[in-house]
Structures are given as structure tokens and as C-alpha cells.
Amino acid sequence: MALKESVDSFLATHDMAPADIPVFLFVHTALSAALVGSTWYLSYVAAGSGIGAVSLDSGEASKSLILNALLSVPIFPEKFRFKANQVIVGLEMSTSSSRLVQFFQRKFPNIDATRLVSSYVEAKVGRLFFKPITVPGRIWISYKASKALRHWSDRGVTKDHLAFYHGRMGPLLAVAPSVSPSRLNW
């Protein structure tokens, strides 16, 4: 019973109802999925475009956008930059020899599966770096969205109201609740 009472007191102090929780969770999950998808896509596209490419004496350059950005900063010694590039290139090569990556490459030959895997890892690292900003932001947006939806539903907006307002907007109208369809001359 202590957990239920503490949850109820938390909801009461934040002016939320138990009915707001599903909306909060849906918005939070949708924002999380959008963040994962967008960062993965940006990392994938940036890795293929050569943005931030760094030329080192190691022979091969990494496709990693984050690593290339870090290696371009002169505060790191050349020895460290060389070793980090070797490690990332080695990881990319071992990823390309993975059976799952090879299967994916056969099924979708237009997509570079190695770049797909490395861009996911790179996006994950980027999201972890920005987590102190993104998590409170998602919580705040989810909270505001659940409050806005409850405020909207508390005002008594129903399907009939929506049909009436939609009907005033365009020619293919939903009928207002006070007008019988038989009275309309279509």
C-alpha cells in the first residue's frame, strides 16, 4: 500500500491523474524512438558522405563521424589518434566479417551493412553523451503533452464538436450534431 500512496501523492503534487500515465508513456516512447531513428540516420548518412574525414598516416581512415571529429582536435597526441583510428578500423573490419552482417548484405545489397552497424554504435555513443539533456527534455515534453491532452478533453471536446468544426473547414463535411442529414439538400 505504501507504493500506491506514494504514487498517488506524486501524481497529486504534479497535478496529474492516473489516466495521464498512458499518454505520458506513449509520448515519451515516441520521442525516444524518433531520437534513436534520427541519430542513427544522421550517423549513417554522415559516415557515407565523408564529413569530418581525417587523414592519418595509418593507411586506412575510419568511417566514424565522432572519431573523425575527435581526431581532428589537435589536443590529442598523434600517437593516441593513430591508435584510436587503428582500433576503430579494426572494429569495422571485424564487423564486416560477421555472419549476420554478411546475411544482411546479401538480402539488401544497396545498403552498406558495416556502415549501418558502426553508425548505430556511433549514434548510441552520441545519445549517451547528450543523455543529461535529452532525458529531462523528453520527460518535460511528455508531461506537457499529457497535461494538454487532459485539458483538451476536460473542455468537453467531443466527436460532435470536431465534426462541426471540421465541417466548417471544407466541402466534404461531417454533419453538425444539431442538423439532421435529411434536411440537407445534396
pTM equals 0.62
Neighbours of 144 (CB within 10 A): 12
The C-alpha cell at 104 is: 544482411
Q: What does the pLDDT look like over 141-171, one tens digit per residue?
A: 999 998 888 877 766 655 555 555 454 444 4
Alpha-carbon radius of gyration of the chain: 26
Q: What does the pLDDT look like over 100-109, one tens digit per residue?
A: 888 888 888 8
Q: What percent of the chain is predicted at pLDDT more than 90?
A: 17
The C-alpha cell at 65 is: 563521424
Per-residue pLDDT of the chain (186 residues; tens, 9 = 90+): 588 888 888 888 888 888 888 999 999 999 999 999 999 898 888 876 655 444 444 455 556 666 667 667 777 777 877 777 777 777 777 777 788 888 888 888 888 877 887 788 778 877 888 899 999 999 999 999 988 888 777 666 555 555 554 544 444 444 444 445 555 444
pLDDT score, position 25: 93
Length reported for the chain: 186
